[in-house]
Amino acid sequence: MLSRAEWKESLSVALTTIASQKMRAFLTMLGVVIGVASVISVAAIIDGLNRHIADKINELGSKTFFVARFPAFTFDFERLPEAIRLRKHLLPEDAAAIREHARLVNKAIPILTRFAILGGSNEVRYQNRRVSEPILRGADPDLLEVLPIYAVKFGRYFTQQEEDHAAMVCLLGTPIADTLFGPTDPLGLEIRVNGLPFRVIGVFEPHQGLFGGPGVDQFVIIPYRTFAKLYPEIEEVILVVTVNNAEELKAAEDEVADILRRRRHVPAGKPNDFEIASPDIITDLWKQLTGAIVILTLIVASIGLLVGGIGVMNIMLVSVTERTAEIGVRKAVGARRKDIRAQFLLEAMTLTGAGGILGILTGVVLSVSVAWLFPSLPARVSLYWTMIGLLISFGVGLFFGIYPAIKASNLDPVRCLRYE
C-alpha cells in the first residue's frame, strides 16, 4: 500500500508529464469532455422542464379532471377507430347530472372551444387593430373556480344573469388586450369577435401556457350560452370537474364514469364511450418522452466516453514506450512496481478527471445559454448528475489506464536502461 507521500509524488510526476504535452493531453480528454458535457446539459434541461411541467400542472389544480369524447391530445380524428369516431357528444346536461348525483364532486361545468386546429378560424378587431386566430371559448360562470389559471387581472368575470341571457360580453388574454388597446383601458369598450359586437368586461392575468404553447394569453372567453347560440355547429363539449378533496380524485372519477355510463346507456362489460383525464396525463406523457431522451443521451455520452477512454489508453501506451528509459531509471533507484502503476494510473485518471471538469463547465455553460436563449426551455443544473459525470470521468481513466499501468510496471529495468 502506498503512503500519502508516495501518492503525492506520483501525482506530481503525472501532472508534470501532462503539463509538458498540453495539446496532446487536451485532444486525449476531448471525448470525455463531450460525453460529460452532454450528460450535464441534457440532465439540466430535463430537470428544469420537469419543474416547469410540475408548476403548470399545479396551476390546473390537484382537484381537477376532464371528461371528453376523444382521448387527450387527439388532433387527427380520421385515424381514430370508427367506434371512437362515432361516439355521441357530451352534453351540458351531463355536467348538471354530475353536479346533482356525484357525491364527491364540487363543481362540474361544460366548455365549448373554437380554434384554427379544428377548422374554426377566429378574428378579434378593435377599430383598425386586429388579432388573428385567438382561441374562442364558451364557459360557465364557475370557470374561475374550476380552473384557477383563469385569474382576472382587472375588470370582472361575467355573472350568472349574463350567462342566462346569453350576453355579448367577453374577457381577453393580456397580449390580446395589449395588441388591441395599447395603453387604453379596454373595460366597457366594444370589440368585434368574428364580426359580432362584444363588450369587454375583463382581462386575465398573463399565462403563456406550457412551453410557450396555448395558454390563457391566447383566449377570448364568452358565456357558454352565447357561444352555443352563435356557433351551434360546434358540439364538442368538454366537461371540467373538481372534487372537494384531492385524495378522492380517483374515486370521484369512478363516480362520474358510473353516472355517464348510465346516461349514455353503455352496456355492462363494454368500455366507456368517453375519456376521463386528469392533469397527470401530461406528466405521464412527459416521463415517456424524457425517458427516451435520457436513453439517447446516455448512448451519445457512452460513445464519447468510450472514444475518450480508448484515446487515453492509446496515449498512455505511447507514453509507456516514450518513457521506457525513465521507467528503467526509476526502478534502478528503488521504485517498485506499485509505484510505477500508481504513476501511470494517476496520470490517466488526471487526464480524464480534467476532461470531466471541463465537460461539467461546458455543460453548465450550455445549460445557462439554453435557459437564456429559450426561456420556454428552462434549465437547472443538477448536482446529482454533476457528481455522476465527475465520478464517471475518473472511472474511465481508472478502467482504461489499468492495462498501460500494468505494462509499464512489468517492464524489465535492465532492458529499459538499454532502450533507445
Q: What is the dihedral of CA 100, 101, 105, 111, to 10 degrees?
A: -60
Q: Please tell me the predicted confidence (pLDDT) of residue 352.
A: 84
Range of the domain at 369: 4-56+284-418
- Final residue in a domain of this structure, among 278, 300, 319: 278
Q: Please tell me the predicted confidence (pLDDT) of residue 163.
A: 94
Are residue 127 and residue 50 in the same domain, yes or no? no
Q: Please tell me the predicted confidence (pLDDT) of residue 255.
A: 92
- Final residue in a domain of this structure, among 210, 245, 278: 278
Are residue 80 and residue 206 in the same domain, yes or no? yes
Query: What's the total number of domains in the chain?
Result: 2
Burial of 240 (0-12, 13-18, 19+ CB in 10 A): buried
Alpha carbon distance 177, 184 (integer Å):
9
Q: Which DSSP state fits 62?
A: T
CA distance readout (Å), 96 to 79, 87, 99, 261: 32, 20, 5, 15
Cross-strand partners of 225: none
CA distance readout (Å), 317 to 58, 71, 375: 56, 60, 47
Are residue 109 and residue 44 in the same domain, yes or no? no
Ramachandran angles phi, psi of 333, nearest 5°: -95, 10
Are residue 258 and residue 294 in the same domain, yes or no? no
CA distance readout (Å), 16 to 56, 326, 405: 53, 14, 17
Residue 73: other Cβ atoms inside 10 A: 9
CA distance readout (Å), 213 to 80, 95, 152, 207, 219: 24, 28, 20, 10, 12
Q: Please tell me the predicted confidence (pLDDT) of residue 11.
A: 66
Which alpha helices (H) appear in 247-336, and where do they start and end?
A: 249-263, 280-322, 324-332
Are residue 206 and residue 323 in the same domain, yes or no? no
pLDDT in tens, the chain (420 residues): 556 666 676 667 666 766 677 777 777 777 788 888 887 887 787 777 777 776 666 666 668 889 988 877 665 666 777 777 788 999 999 999 999 999 999 899 999 999 877 667 899 999 999 999 899 999 999 998 888 888 899 999 999 999 999 999 999 999 999 999 998 999 999 999 999 999 999 999 988 765 555 678 899 999 999 999 999 999 889 999 998 887 888 899 899 999 999 999 988 888 888 888 876 666 666 666 666 667 777 777 777 778 778 888 887 787 777 777 777 777 777 777 877 787 778 888 888 888 888 888 888 888 888 777 776 667 777 788 788 888 888 888 888 888 888 887 887 766 766 655
Are residue 143 and residue 214 in the same domain, yes or no? yes
Are residue 291 and residue 363 in the same domain, yes or no? yes
Q: Please tell me the predicted confidence (pLDDT) of residue 193.
A: 94
Q: Please tell me the predicted confidence (pLDDT) of residue 38.
A: 80
Alpha carbon distance 380, 382 (integer Å):
6
- Final residue in a domain of this structure, among 224, 254, 278: 278
Amino acid at 218: Q
**DSSP element (H, E) containing 216:** none
Are residue 162 and residue 263 in the same domain, yes or no? yes
Residue 195: other Cβ atoms inside 10 A: 7
Length of the chain: 420
Q: Are the beta carbons of 235 and 190 closer than 8 angstroms?
A: no
Are residue 199 and residue 242 in the same domain, yes or no? yes
* End-to-end Cα separation, the chain, in angstroms: 32
Are residue 146 and residue 291 in the same domain, yes or no? no
Are residue 127 and residue 255 in the same domain, yes or no? yes
Q: What are 290-295's contacts with CB under 8 Å, separation 24+?
A: 290/46, 290/49, 290/50, 293/42, 293/46, 294/42, 294/46
Q: Are the beta carbons of 359 and 35 closer than 8 angstroms?
A: yes
Are residue 226 and residue 354 in the same domain, yes or no? no
